[in-house]
Structure 1
Amino acid sequence: MTRIPRPTPDELDEQQKRLHAAVTGGDRANGPQLFRLADDDGRLEGPFNAMLLNPAVGDALQRLGAAIRYEGRLSDRCREIAILAVAAHWQSGFEQRAHEPIGAHVGLAATELDSLRNGDPVELDDPDEAAVLRTTRHLLQHLDLDDDAYRAAAEALGHDKLFELTTLIGYYSTLALQMRVFAVH
């Protein structure tokens, strides 16, 4: 059971209504609907409901998430590989349920999804994808990149994509932490 209220849209104040509209009417709502942003009564699902607790911070956070998902330079597969590796590390059931269908939609095979979920090795032929997974798992385990790991990641991805990847890891780790604290499953 969640630790915070799950208000319907008519129970929201004006700031919360703007945030609700940004989540349900933005880029997330324009693509294939592979996971629900809101339930049948309009209550926000997953991490988005917690964002209503402080709409100014919540809106900044959801805009960061939208930028990572829709404006980044990482390929769709790279992005989903990293998100699913973070979800597995944090044992974030919501993120796994939300992003596994997206991962399948962008071409991740069932065996790759299973391996990501279980933290097992994944055979990735694409060098960017392999670098993303290696770097993500390294950062989640060690909380930093030593000089060799940094050099390998920067050479494989470039500084711009490495910056994006570290931002993605931090963002999805933040969501996982918030969902754990607020008992969002």
Structure 2
Amino acid sequence: MPRFAPIPPESLTPDQRAIHDHIDSVYNTASGSSPPFTMKDHTGALLGPFPMMIHAPFFGTAWFDHIMTVSSHPALEPRARELAILAVGAHYHCPYELYAHKRVALLPALGMSQTQVTDASEGKVPDGLSPAEQVAYEFAMEMLNSKGPVAKPHYDHAVALLGKESVLILMQLVGVYSFVCLMLNGAATEVPE
């Protein structure tokens, strides 16, 4: 039994329905009518981290909108972004996050190989990355594994390859997806069949 069960649209309160419809609309705009991972069940109820947002409508859509803003910011290239997200999922051993973002990373537009995606999702730097992609993955892992500030040489190297704005977006991305993974793991969110 899910800790925060998906709620079919016809059973939502008006506040919950507003959040459901907002998430659904934004995702349809971002990924079209067929996202690379299952985000709804057979009743139309949202899956993944979304039931937690719907069960707590007092959060509104702020958390979701922040995630979407950071994860679509053009300062970070799509491959670097997905590599960083996979680093976060690997760090937290988060089944749903890895399920969803391995599928995103394998989209033809990103051109990542199955081996690269598997390595990244297991916490290993994949072969065949550009220098910028490699530093994005390594910097994300450094953030996740540091018990304090990221070492200055690692930060300086990331800024030299990515630029300061992109490193800031990368830091935000690691932060928001860490929050997502913690929520998903706390809720023991299952991967869809």
TM norm structure 1: 0.92
Tell me if 1:43 matches 2:45: yes
- How far the C-alpha of 1:72 sits from its partner, in A, is 3.4
Question: Do 1:24 and 1:38's aligned partners in 2 also have CA atoms closer than 8 Å?
Answer: no
* Change beyond 3 A, Cα 1:100–1:59: same
Percent identical residues: 26
- How far the C-alpha of 1:56 sits from its partner, in A, is 4.1
The one of 106, 112, 115 equivalent to 1:108 is: 112
- Report the counterpart of residue 68 of structure 2 in structure 1: 66
Tell me if 1:148 matches 2:153: yes
The one of 74, 85, 88 equivalent to 1:86 is: 88
Q: Which ranges in structure 2 are unaligned for 5 or more consecutive residues? A: none
Q: Give the 4+ runs in structure 1 shifted more than 3 A.
A: none
Question: Do 2:80 and 2:133's aligned partners in 1 also have CA atoms closer than 8 Å?
Answer: yes
Q: Which ranges in structure 1 are unaligned for 5 or more consecutive residues? A: none
The whole-number CA distance in structure 2 between the counterparts of 1:51 and 1:169 is 20
Question: Do 2:36 and 2:104's aligned partners in 1 also have CA atoms closer than 8 Å?
Answer: yes
TM norm structure 2: 0.89
- Report the counterpart of residue 57 of structure 1 in structure 2: 59
The whole-number CA distance in structure 2 between the counterparts of 1:82 and 1:125 is 13
The whole-number CA distance in structure 1 between the counterparts of 2:130 and 2:186 is 36
Q: Look up the SS of the partner of 1:120 in the other structure.
A: coil
Structure with the higher fraction of residues in helix conformation: 1
- Report the counterpart of residue 10 of structure 2 in structure 1: 10
Number of residues of Structure 1 aligned to a counterpart in Structure 2: 184
Tell me if 1:169 matches 2:174: yes
Question: Do 2:125 and 2:134's aligned partners in 1 also have CA atoms closer than 8 Å?
Answer: no
Question: Do 1:23 and 1:37's aligned partners in 2 also have CA atoms closer than 8 Å?
Answer: no
